[in-house]
Protein backbone atom coordinates (compact mmCIF):
# COMPACT_ATOMS: atom_id res chain seq x y z
CA UNK A 1 0.00 0.00 0.00
CA UNK A 2 1.43 3.38 -1.02
CA UNK A 3 1.76 6.16 1.55
CA UNK A 4 1.11 9.80 0.69
CA UNK A 5 2.73 12.60 2.66
CA UNK A 6 0.12 14.93 4.16
CA UNK A 7 0.83 18.25 5.88
CA UNK A 8 -1.56 19.02 8.74
CA UNK A 9 -1.72 22.32 10.63
CA UNK A 10 -4.56 21.96 13.11
CA UNK A 11 -6.65 19.48 15.04
CA UNK A 12 -5.15 16.48 13.19
CA UNK A 13 -1.75 17.11 14.82
CA UNK A 14 -0.38 14.86 17.55
CA UNK A 15 -2.23 15.15 20.84
CA UNK A 16 -5.04 17.28 19.44
CA UNK A 17 -8.76 16.62 19.04
CA UNK A 18 -8.88 14.86 15.65
CA UNK A 19 -5.46 13.14 15.63
CA UNK A 20 -7.30 9.85 16.13
CA UNK A 21 -8.59 10.21 12.54
CA UNK A 22 -5.03 9.89 11.23
CA UNK A 23 -4.20 7.02 13.56
CA UNK A 24 -7.39 5.15 12.61
CA UNK A 25 -6.31 4.93 8.95
CA UNK A 26 -2.80 3.77 9.85
CA UNK A 27 -0.99 7.09 9.31
CA UNK A 28 2.42 7.59 10.88
CA UNK A 29 4.10 10.80 12.01
CA UNK A 30 7.06 11.80 9.82
CA UNK A 31 8.28 15.19 11.04
CA UNK A 32 7.54 18.70 12.21
CA UNK A 33 8.03 21.36 9.54
CA UNK A 34 7.21 24.91 8.47
CA UNK A 35 5.59 26.21 5.33
CA UNK A 36 7.36 28.70 3.13
CA UNK A 37 6.44 32.23 4.33
CA UNK A 38 3.44 32.58 2.01
CA UNK A 39 0.59 31.39 4.23
CA UNK A 40 -1.94 32.97 6.57
CA UNK A 41 -3.88 31.24 9.32
CA UNK A 42 -7.36 31.86 10.74
CA UNK A 43 -9.18 30.48 13.75
CA UNK A 44 -12.61 29.20 12.77
CA UNK A 45 -14.70 29.89 15.87
CA UNK A 46 -11.72 28.73 17.99
CA UNK A 47 -12.56 25.13 16.99
CA UNK A 48 -10.04 24.55 14.18
CA UNK A 49 -7.73 26.55 11.91
CA UNK A 50 -7.85 27.33 8.21
CA UNK A 51 -4.60 27.98 6.34
CA UNK A 52 -4.51 29.76 2.98
CA UNK A 53 -1.60 30.48 0.64
CA UNK A 54 -1.28 34.17 -0.27
CA UNK A 55 0.83 36.27 -2.63
CA UNK A 56 1.85 38.77 0.05
CA UNK A 57 1.56 39.31 3.78
CA UNK A 58 2.15 35.67 4.64
CA UNK A 59 4.31 33.92 7.23
CA UNK A 60 5.79 30.49 7.82
CA UNK A 61 3.26 28.28 9.60
CA UNK A 62 4.25 25.32 11.78
CA UNK A 63 2.76 21.98 10.80
CA UNK A 64 3.28 18.23 10.93
CA UNK A 65 3.92 15.86 8.06
CA UNK A 66 2.27 12.43 8.19
CA UNK A 67 2.57 9.38 5.94
CA UNK A 68 -1.01 8.37 5.17
CA UNK A 69 -1.96 5.17 3.34
CA UNK A 70 -3.44 6.25 0.00
CA UNK A 71 -6.68 4.47 0.87
CA UNK A 72 -7.02 6.68 3.98
CA UNK A 73 -6.77 10.10 2.31
CA UNK A 74 -10.46 10.12 1.31
CA UNK A 75 -11.50 9.03 4.80
CA UNK A 76 -9.49 11.87 6.35
CA UNK A 77 -10.93 14.47 3.96
CA UNK A 78 -14.51 13.35 4.55
CA UNK A 79 -14.02 13.70 8.32
CA UNK A 80 -12.60 17.22 8.14
CA UNK A 81 -14.82 20.13 9.20
CA UNK A 82 -16.74 21.95 6.44
CA UNK A 83 -14.63 24.40 4.46
CA UNK A 84 -11.38 22.47 4.75
CA UNK A 85 -9.89 20.74 1.74
CA UNK A 86 -6.72 19.08 0.53
CA UNK A 87 -4.40 20.98 -1.79
CA UNK A 88 -0.69 21.45 -2.34
CA UNK A 89 1.44 23.00 0.40
CA UNK A 90 5.03 24.17 -0.04
CA UNK A 91 7.39 23.67 2.89
CA UNK A 92 10.23 25.99 3.88
CA UNK A 93 12.75 23.63 2.24
CA UNK A 94 10.88 23.86 -1.09
CA UNK A 95 9.25 20.42 -0.83
CA UNK A 96 5.67 20.43 -2.13
CA UNK A 97 3.16 17.94 -0.76
CA UNK A 98 -0.53 17.52 -0.11
CA UNK A 99 -1.85 19.41 2.87
CA UNK A 100 -4.99 20.59 4.62
CA UNK A 101 -6.03 24.07 3.47
CA UNK A 102 -9.03 26.28 4.09
CA UNK A 103 -11.45 27.68 1.57
CA UNK A 104 -11.22 31.49 1.70
CA UNK A 105 -14.96 31.85 2.32
CA UNK A 106 -14.77 30.18 5.76
CA UNK A 107 -12.17 32.73 6.88
CA UNK A 108 -14.48 35.70 6.28
CA UNK A 109 -15.32 37.33 9.61
CA UNK A 110 -13.01 34.98 11.54
CA UNK A 111 -9.97 35.86 13.66
CA UNK A 112 -6.68 35.86 11.80
CA UNK A 113 -4.03 34.12 13.90
CA UNK A 114 -1.06 34.19 11.52
CA UNK A 115 0.95 36.16 14.10
CA UNK A 116 0.92 33.09 16.41
CA UNK A 117 2.66 30.96 13.76
CA UNK A 118 0.73 27.80 14.58
CA UNK A 119 -2.59 26.47 15.75
CA UNK A 120 -0.94 24.76 18.75
CA UNK A 121 0.60 28.05 19.97
CA UNK A 122 -2.65 29.92 19.47
CA UNK A 123 -4.83 27.44 21.37
CA UNK A 124 -2.22 27.22 24.13
CA UNK A 125 -2.47 30.96 24.62
CA UNK A 126 -6.27 31.18 24.51
CA UNK A 127 -6.54 28.26 26.96
CA UNK A 128 -4.05 30.00 29.27
CA UNK A 129 -6.17 33.17 29.12
CA UNK A 130 -9.24 31.19 30.25
CA UNK A 131 -7.57 30.10 33.51
What is the pTM for the complete model shown? 0.93
Q: What's the pLDDT tens digit per position in 83-92?
A: 999 999 999 9
Q: What is the mean pLDDT of the chain?
A: 94
What's the CATH number of domain 3-129, 2.60.40.10, 3.10.490.10, 3.30.1490.20, 3.90.180.10?
Answer: 3.10.490.10
Query: HEC states along 8-69?
Result: ECCCCCCCCCCHHHHHHCCCEEEEEEEECCCEEEEEECCCEEEEEECCCCCECCEEEEEEEE
Q: What's the pLDDT tens digit per position in 41-86?
A: 999 999 999 999 999 999 999 999 999 999 999 999 999 999 999 9
Q: Where are the domains of the chain?
A: 3-129
Q: How confident is the model at residue 30 (pLDDT cuts 50, 70, 90)?
A: very high
Amino acid sequence: MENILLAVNGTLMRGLELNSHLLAVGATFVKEAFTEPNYRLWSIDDRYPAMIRVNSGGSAIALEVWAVPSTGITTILLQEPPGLCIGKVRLSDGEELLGVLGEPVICEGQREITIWGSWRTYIGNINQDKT
